[in-house]
Amino acid sequence: MKLAACLVLMMACMADASGETLYRCVDAANHVSYQSAPCARGARLDGVTNYVPEPVAPSQRKAKPSRPPRPAHGVASSAGSIGSRRAPRRESDPCELAKQRRQAQLQRLGLKRTYDDLSRIDAAVWQACHGS
């Protein structure tokens, strides 16, 4: 039963591929793999399945549901839900200032960050936001 489900899944995944043959290969450690190309050297062919993928009409594809646009900052939504507005940020908030400094330091360091750098920077933010 598992094999049949796996085979159907592999066929569905490969429906967009150009090949129409599915190879079941078993390697020396008895690991099974399904692929659209013949088995590699050292693996034995355990089965071949030929199939014809069914074309999918554009109308049958699932369309992503569209979301209504988000309201501009500080404007309540048309639904008028309670609590949908955020409190305005205070620039003098020590936590926000520490987060801004962290972002600036991360941009300055780029990808040459070390674990010690990240620990030091995050400790400063933690102290500003949670410390006493």
pLDDT value at position 111? 85
Q: Does the structure show a pLDDT above 90 at 123?
A: yes
Q: Does the structure show a pLDDT above 80 at 12?
A: no
Give the closest residue to 45 by CA, choosing from 20, 22, 25.
Answer: 25
Residue with token string 């090949």? 19
- The per-residue pLDDT of the chain, averaged, comes to 75
pTM above threshold 0.75: no
Considering only residues 3 and 16, tell me which one the structure prediction assigns the higher pLDDT: 3
Give the closest residue to 25 by CA, choosing from 9, 40, 3.
Answer: 40
Which pLDDT band, with edges at 50, 70 and 90, does 7 fall under? low
